[in-house]
Amino acid sequence: MGKEFPKGFLWGASTSAYQVEGAAFEDGKKASQQDIINQDSFEKFGFATAEVASDQYHHFREDIALMKEMGFNTYRFSIAWSRVFPDGDGPVNEKGIQYYRNLIDELLANGMEPIVTLYHYDLPWALVERYGGWLDRRVVKDFEYFARYVINEFKDKVKYWTTVNEQSIIVQYWTQKCYIPEDVLKDNQKRYQINHHMNLAQAIANKLVHELVPGGLAGAPLGYSPIYPLTSDPKDVMAMQNAQALRNDYYTDVYFKGHYNKAAQIYLEEHGLAPVMDEGDLELLADPKAISDFLALNNYASECAKWCGEGEKEIQWSGVNRSGKKGEISGFETHPGFYEMCANPRLDTTDWDWAIDPQGMEYMLRDLYNRYNKPLMITENGLGAYDTLTEDEKVHDGYRIDFLRENIKAMKRAIDKGVEVLAYCPWSAVDVLSTSNGVKKRYGLIYVDRTDSDAKQCARIRKDSFYWYQKVIGSNGVDLD
Ligand code: BG6
Q: Is residue 267 part of a domain?
A: no
3 domain-assigned: no
Tell me how many helices (H) and strands (E) the chain has.
Answer: 17, 15
DSSP assignment of 217-237 equals EEE-EEE---EEESSS-HHHH
State the distance from the centre of ligand 1 to the C-alpha of 473, rounded, in angstroms: 24
Whether the CB-CB separation of 343 and 458 falls below 8 Å is answered with no
| Three-state SS at 366 | helix
How many angstroms separate the alpha carbon of residue 454 from the centre of ligand 1? 21
Core vs surface per residue 277-312: b (16+ CB within 10 A) or e: eeeebeebbeeeebbbbbbbbbbbbbbbbbbbeeee
298 CB less than 6 Å from ligand 1? yes
Does 196 fall in a domain?
Answer: yes
Question: Is the shortest distance between the CB of 132 and ligand 1 below 6 Å?
Answer: no
CA of 343 to the centre of ligand 1 (A): 20
pTM above 0.85, yes or no: yes
Structural domain total, the chain: 1
Give pLDDT tens digits for 133-163. 999 999 999 999 999 999 999 999 999 999 9
Residue 22 lies in a domain: yes
Cβ of 434 below 6 Å from ligand 1:
yes
Active-site annotation holds for 393:
no
Q: For ligand 1, pick from 380, 383, 448 the residue to mutate: most ligand atoms within 8 Å of CB.
A: 380
For residue 257, is it within any domain?
Answer: no
Catalytic-role residue among 106, 113, 166, 333: 166
Question: Is 165 touching ligand 1 by the criterion CB < 6 Å?
Answer: yes
**How many Cα atoms sit within 13 Å of 153 on the Cβ side?**
21
Question: Which DSSP state fits 54?
Answer: T
DSSP state of 315: B
- 396 lies in a domain? yes
Burial class (CB in 10 A: 0-12, 13-18, 19+), 323: middle
Q: What's the confidence (pLDDT) of residue 2?
A: 64
3-state SS record for 180-201: CCHHHCCCCHHHHHHHHHHHHH
159: Cβ below 6 Å to ligand 1?
no
In ligand 1, the atom with minimum distance to the C-alpha of 354 is: 15
Which atom of ligand 1 is closest in space to residue 176's alpha carbon?
A: 14
- 235-283 tens-digit pLDDT: 999 999 999 999 999 999 999 999 999 999 999 999 999 999 999 999 9
* Contact between residue 245 and residue 264 where contact means Cβ atoms under 8 Å apart: yes
For residue 96, being part of any structural domain is answered with yes
Q: For 391-450, what is each residue's pLDDT tens digit?
A: 999 999 999 999 999 999 999 999 999 999 999 999 999 999 999 999 999 999 999 999
> Is 129 contained in some domain?
yes
Spatial separation of the C-alpha atoms in residues 50 and 66, rounded to whole Å: 23
Q: What is the CATH number of the domain that holds 99?
A: 3.20.20.80
Q: Residues 68, 70, 72, 77: is their CA dihedral positive or negative?
A: negative
In residues, how long is the chain? Answer: 481
Nearest CA to ligand 1 atom 8: 435
Nearest to 133 by CA among 121, 116, 117: 121
User: Could you list the residue range(s) of the whole structural domain that residue 447 is in?
Assistant: 10-225+368-474
